[in-house]
Amino acid sequence: MPPQPQAGDAIRLSPSQNKAKRTRLRQFAAFGSPSPLITITRLHTPRIHSKGTPNMALIEPGKIPAVNRPTRLSRIDIGRLHRWHMRAGLWIGLAVILWALSGLGHPILSRLNPKPATFAPPLSAVDGSNLQSPQQVLQAAGLTRFEALRLWQPAGATPAYRVQSEGRIYWIDARSGAVQPDAERRWAERLARHYTGDQTSAVTRLTLLDSFNNDYHYIDRLLPVWEVALNRPDGLRAYVDPASGRLATLTDTRKDWTGKLFRWMHSWSPIQSSRWTQGLMLTLLLVTAMVSAAGLAIYVRLWRRGALRLARPATVRIHQRLAVPVAPIALMLALSGA
């Protein structure tokens, strides 16, 4: 390997030199020299410290032209910064790949989920003949106050008032004023069979949920809901809102597994309950911002040194061209806490 140029050496950069020598000189100029007192002029700038022929550039110690004075960016150790950039970027890239793959797979997983037989609640227009007023039915039931009251007429049934009073639910016949016992559970089961289209399978579990859990998640929004589990090979469960008659979601065994996989890859659910979650996420965002900033600094440094024109593998060129527009976006997302 030829010796590197030293202070006071003359380097002839004539067009007759072969490509390998010019490449080595460019690499030396791109990645820096061990001494800050050495300045190498570029091929097309022979006027700086030129002596003799116009193609001769002289390196003189202690005489650094103003145009080549080291800047804050030029003092960066590119080799060390590049190694750190690759190692930290490997872990950040793994997290991004998991997040991106889960996002791309979400439409596919959604198609595998159970579909409701219908989306409309099983209601019919209310027959207003011989109906008692809300005040009458409340007095007949011995209720003096209520939080919510609604008149329902399920398909094929008589009209009834659904009354919420002091944390309890009452169903009162709108014509006779009689309180219907256990009507809330029967209404939840009817909603579940209506939305699943299953009128024959036995109900194995019917549970009122007042909060979200590992089976019924925040994304489903509605509370409180009834969980109605049917005795089927696929473990189908329906979550229904009795107050509005709406279906919250349908879940089976396959959706349980695909949902857990998606939450593990996309939301990192295994660490969400840990007290270190916030610190870990903050660290990842900080490292992401530093990796993006380091990549931009390396690119600018190589561009200013003219090293981007050197022969490089195709993967390196693709990485550079994709990273330049992506790095500012990643930097802004990380700094904004996204």
pLDDT 10s digits, 262-316: 888 777 776 666 677 777 788 888 888 888 888 888 888 888 877 777 767 888 8
Distance CA 52, CA 73 (A): 33
Of the two residues 278 and 183, the one the predictor is more confident about is 183
pLDDT 10s digits, 111-154: 889 999 999 999 888 888 889 999 999 998 899 899 999 998 88
Kindly report the backbone phi and psi dihedral angles of residue 202, in degrees, each rounded to the nearest multiple of 5, phi listed first: -75, 150
- Closest by CA to 243, choosing from 181, 203, 188, is 188
Q: Which long-range contacts (CB under 8 A, 24 or more apart) does 9-18 make?
A: 9/59, 10/51, 10/52, 10/56, 10/57, 10/58, 10/59, 11/40, 11/56, 11/57, 11/59, 12/55, 12/56, 13/43, 13/55, 13/57, 14/55
pLDDT of residue 21: 52
User: Where residue 74 falls among pLDDT bands split at 50, 70, 90?
Assistant: low
pLDDT of residue 105: 82
Most confidently modeled range among 245-254, 260-269, 313-322: 245-254
User: Where residue 320 falls among pLDDT bands split at 50, 70, 90?
Assistant: confident
* CB contact burial 221-248 (16+ within 10 A = b; e otherwise): ebeebbbbbbebeeebbbbbbbbebbbb
Q: What is the CA radius of gyration of the chain?
A: 36
CB atoms near residue 190 (< 10 Å): 21
- Closest by CA to 62, choosing from 9, 3, 8, 13, is 8
Q: Is the peptide bond preceding residue 325 cis, with omega within 30 degrees of 0?
A: no
pLDDT 10s digits, 192-230: 999 999 999 999 999 999 999 988 998 888 999 999 999
| Six-digit token string for 235 | 């473990």
Distance CA 216, CA 212 (A): 5
pLDDT 10s digits, 21-62: 555 545 444 444 443 333 344 444 444 444 444 444 444 555
Distance CA 131, CA 37 (A): 100
pLDDT of residue 192: 96
Interior CA angle at 318 toward 313 and 319, to 5°?
A: 100
* DSSP, residue by residue, 190-227: HHHHHHH--SSSPEEEEEEESS--SSS-GGG---SEEE
User: pTM of the entire structure?
Assistant: 0.64
Contact yes or no for 294/288 (Cβ under 8 A):
no
pLDDT of residue 98: 83
Of the two residues 84 and 160, the one the predictor is more confident about is 160
Sequence ranges of the domains in the chain = 10-68, 78-107+270-335
Q: Which residue type, as a one-letter code, is found at position 21?
A: K
pLDDT of residue 150: 93
